[in-house]
């Protein structure tokens, strides 16, 4: 606590200024990706498109909060270093503003995980409970911060809550990412085109979770080692924007993975050996139906998770 009264601007306003610049770049990428999404998502359900529009509006509001904080401390309170002890309201609602975006996108990933795991309630339920606990802790953090007048109170009264809040987010992100990666890897069919798509989806799922979790881990480490400055706040500011951009990237990648926009998957059944059966024709029909269900579950639950729930055929 001794270094904070010295007002080291490099680790206070300097840290959040750099984070604000990076967040603006990420917001620009969000706008580009959102524009691309709405240009290529005519087949998505209306409620999902409305949810994406809400996330963009909320991210816009989040960016306004960041620059309100920066403008207040850098311009309105220029040459008034004591103002650092009295953060504006835009900083106080930061935990909730970040968590709203994060919990929605985690929910979308958990929906994908639920479908891909053949409706495994236990796995999805555990990760959903951790994610909701993280969201609840963000609400508690925000409510407590709104009742505090100075930042020095944060470092003593909120330490345990912030540790729990950030740690729960790391566990939820890593758990979801590695569960998706494992289930996708287990869903390989042996057909080159489908397995190629799965390889890309495994990379997307794990990289997204690792990137967001890494940002949260750095935030936690910064808070533990430097609780008397704003370095941790700088990393925390970027968290929701990284999450949103990663998810939009996976949505926009659908067109690249399935360029013809065809939900059916063509396979060559001559490569598929059903084994020795007494009725070869009936066996091939049964195996074709099982393969149809398997491939559609893998592909539709990941690439085309927001398409309408119609069945796709498997071309022979």
Domain boundaries, the chain: 4-257
What is the pLDDT at residue 127?
Answer: 94
What is the pLDDT at residue 137?
Answer: 93
Q: What is the mean pLDDT of residues 179-186?
A: 82
Rounded to whole angstroms, the Cα distance separating 278 from 273 reads 14
| 4-257 CATH pick, 1.20.1070, 1.10.150, 3.30.200, 1.10.3470 | 1.20.1070
Per 3-state DSSP, the chain is made up of helix, strand and coil in percentages (nearest 5) of 75, 0, 25
Rounded to whole angstroms, the Cα distance separating 29 from 22 reads 11
- On the question of pLDDT at 286 being above 60, the answer is no
DSSP secondary structure code for residue 259 in this structure: T
Which residue has better confidence, 196 or 99? 99
What is the pLDDT at residue 238?
Answer: 92
Under 8 Å between Cβ of 188 and 122 = no
What is the pLDDT at residue 284?
Answer: 46
Rounded to whole angstroms, the Cα distance separating 289 from 226 reads 59
**How many Å is the maximal CA-CA distance in the chain?**
88
- 85-132 pLDDT, tens digit each: 778 888 889 889 999 999 999 999 898 888 888 888 999 999 999 999
Rounded to whole angstroms, the Cα distance separating 201 from 194 reads 11
C-alpha 130 chain-centroid distance:
14
Q: pLDDT > 90: what percent of the chain?
A: 31
Model pTM above 0.75: yes
Which residue has better confidence, 13 or 27? 27
Q: Which two tokens stand for residue 214?
A: 């890494």
CB atoms within 10 A of CB 285: 12
Rounded to whole angstroms, the Cα distance separating 297 from 143 reads 42
Under 8 Å between Cβ of 51 and 41 = no
CB atoms within 10 A of CB 97: 21
Residues, the chain: 316
| 79-83, 168-172, 245-249, 280-284, range with the lowest pLDDT | 280-284
| 18-27, 124-133, 224-233, range with the lowest pLDDT | 224-233
Give residue 133's pLDDT band: very low, low, confident or very high (50, 70, 90). Answer: very high
Under 8 Å between Cβ of 110 and 124 = yes
What is the pLDDT at residue 189?
Answer: 67
Q: Which two tokens stand for residue 260?
A: 């013809």
Rounded to whole angstroms, the Cα distance separating 224 from 163 reads 8
Give residue 1's pLDDT band: very low, low, confident or very high (50, 70, 90). Answer: very low
What is the pLDDT at residue 245?
Answer: 92
Choose the most confident range, by mean pLDDT, from 50-59, 184-193, 268-277: 50-59
Choose the most confident range, by mean pLDDT, from 48-57, 73-82, 204-213, 229-238: 48-57
Q: What is the mean pLDDT of the chain?
A: 77
Which of 167, 234, 245 is closest to 12 using CA atoms? Answer: 234
- 144-182 pLDDT, tens digit each: 888 877 777 776 777 888 889 989 999 998 898 888 888
The stretches of 147-279 forming alpha helices (DSSP H) are: 151-157, 159-186, 192-225, 231-252, 254-257
Q: What is the mean pLDDT of residues 17-39?
A: 94
Rounded to whole angstroms, the Cα distance separating 57 from 152 reads 32
């Amino acid at each position: 606590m001794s270094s904070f009264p010295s007002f080291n601007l490099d680790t206070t306003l300097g840290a959040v200024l750099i984070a604000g610049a990076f967040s603006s770049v990420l917001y620009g990428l969000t706008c580009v990706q959102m524009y691309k999404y709405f240009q290529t998502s005519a087949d998505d359900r209306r409620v999902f498109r409305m949810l994406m529009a809400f996330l963009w509006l909320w991210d816009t509001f989040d960016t306004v909060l960041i620059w309100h904080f920066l403008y207040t401390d850098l311009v309105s309170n220029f040459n008034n270093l004591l103002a650092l002890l009295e953060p504006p309201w835009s900083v106080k609602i930061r935990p909730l503003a970040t968590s709203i975006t994060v919990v929605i996108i985690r929910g979308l990933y958990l929906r994908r995980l639920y479908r891909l795991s053949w409706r495994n309630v236990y796995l999805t339920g555990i990760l959903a409970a951790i994610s909701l606990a993280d969201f609840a802790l963000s609400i508690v953090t925000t409510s407590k911060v709104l009742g505090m007048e100075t930042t020095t109170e944060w470092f003593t009264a909120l330490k345990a809550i912030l540790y729990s809040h950030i740690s729960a987010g790391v566990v939820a992100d890593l758990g979801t990412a590695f569960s998706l990666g494992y289930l996708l890897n287990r869903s390989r069919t042996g057909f080159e085109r489908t397995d190629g798509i799965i390889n890309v989806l495994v990379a997307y799922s794990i990289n997204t979770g690792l990137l967001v979790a890494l940002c949260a881990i750095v935030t936690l480490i910064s808070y533990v080692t430097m609780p008397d400055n704003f370095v941790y706040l700088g990393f925390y500011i970027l968290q929701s924007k990284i999450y949103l951009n990663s998810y939009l990237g996976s949505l926009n990648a659908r067109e690249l993975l399935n360029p013809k926009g065809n939900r059916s998957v063509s396979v060559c059944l001559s490569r598929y050996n059903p084994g020795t059966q007494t009725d070869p024709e009936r066996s091939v029909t049964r195996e074709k139906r099982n393969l149809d269900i398997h491939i559609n579950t893998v592909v539709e639950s990941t690439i085309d998770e927001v398409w309408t729930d119609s069945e796709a055929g498997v071309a022979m």
